[in-house]
């Protein structure tokens, strides 16, 4: 692909929740920069967890058929990615984690078959956003580790991680103008060539 194109994965089931608010703010920044984006609302998609069947080990291709087929395609064909998730039990939401686990097929392609996804003509970059209700940093440590593993697996070698703590009620993040500004700027930065 010869232009910057963003695929954004929304892992929160709460419509209009804190994760979605932050993601939309980042998308505003992207819009402002004139780049294209597509949002995948993982909660509305049919994505089973990885079955660890091992089928992808020889081919790098998942043999299970569901909405992940579409996501495999966009991960191959776009170059900028956003993963946005609430903190659930110190980790990614189940919706986000199911999608991330299914990228094991890319892990096999990259590390077993030695065929990482190509970087050219436009480098692959990422942005991770997470938000948790507890006022403790430990709440998002695990989400950031999972996000890093996800990005490296899909050959995103460079990503920014922004996590916010202490925002529990739906929409509470709207009171934090610094967070909103940060994700907006991160969206803009994500699409710089």
Ligand X SMILES: Cc1cc2nc3c(=O)[nH]c(=O)nc-3n(C[C@H](O)[C@H](O)[C@H](O)COP(=O)(O)O)c2cc1C
| Residues at the contact surface with ligand X, assessed by CB under 6 A | 12, 14, 17-20, 86-90, 131-134, 139, 167-168, 170
Q: In angstroms, what is the minimal distance from the CB of 144 to ligand X? A: 13
Tell me the residue nearest to ligand X as measured from the CB: 17
- Identity of the residue, 13 or 116, whose beta carbon is nearer to ligand X in the bound complex: 13
Q: In angstroms, what is the minimal distance from the CB of 22 to ligand X? A: 8
Q: In angstroms, what is the minimal distance from the CB of 101 to ligand X? A: 18
- Identity of the residue, 107 or 140, whose beta carbon is nearer to ligand X in the bound complex: 140
Opening angle at CA 71, ends 35 and 129, nearest 5: 60
User: Is 55 in contact with 24 (CB distance < 8 Å)?
Assistant: no
Q: In angstroms, what is the minimal distance from the CB of 42 to ligand X? A: 12
Coil, strand, or helix at residue 4?
A: coil
Q: In angstroms, what is the minimal distance from the CB of 83 to ligand X? A: 13
CB atoms within 10 A of CB 118: 10
- Identity of the residue, 75 or 131, whose beta carbon is nearer to ligand X in the bound complex: 131
In this structure, the dihedral spanned by the alpha carbons of residues 7, 93, 142 and 158, taken in order and rounded to 10 degrees, is 0
What are the strands of the beta sheet with 158-164, ordered from one edge?
Answer: 36-41, 5-10, 80-86, 125-131, 158-164
Q: Which DSSP symbol is given to 113?
A: S
Q: Which DSSP symbol is given to 108?
A: I
- Identity of the residue, 72 or 90, whose beta carbon is nearer to ligand X in the bound complex: 90
- Identity of the residue, 115 or 175, whose beta carbon is nearer to ligand X in the bound complex: 175
């Amino acid at each position: 692909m010869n232009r910057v194109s963003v695929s954004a994965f929304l892992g929160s089931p709460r419509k209009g929740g804190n994760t979605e608010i932050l993601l939309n703010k980042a998308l505003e920044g992207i819009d402002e920069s004139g780049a294209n984006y597509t949002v995948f609302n993982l909660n509305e998609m049919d994505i089973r967890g990885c079955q660890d069947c091992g089928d992808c080990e020889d081919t790098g291709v998942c043999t299970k058929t569901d909405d992940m087929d579409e996501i495999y395609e966009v991960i191959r064909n776009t170059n900028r990615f956003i993963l946005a998730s609430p903190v659930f039990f110190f980790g990614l939401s189940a919706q986000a984690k199911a999608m991330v686990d299914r990228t094991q097929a890319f892990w096999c392609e990259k590390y077993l078959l030695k065929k990482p996804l190509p970087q050219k003509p436009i480098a692959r970059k990422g942005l991770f956003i997470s938000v948790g209700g507890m006022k403790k940093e430990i709440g998002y440590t695990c989400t950031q580790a999972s996000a890093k593993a996800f990005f490296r697996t899909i050959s995103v070698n460079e990503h920014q991680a922004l996590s916010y703590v202490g925002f529990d009620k739906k929409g509470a993040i709207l009171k934090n103008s610094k967070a909103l500004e940060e994700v907006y700027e991160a969206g803009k930065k994500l699409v710089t060539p």
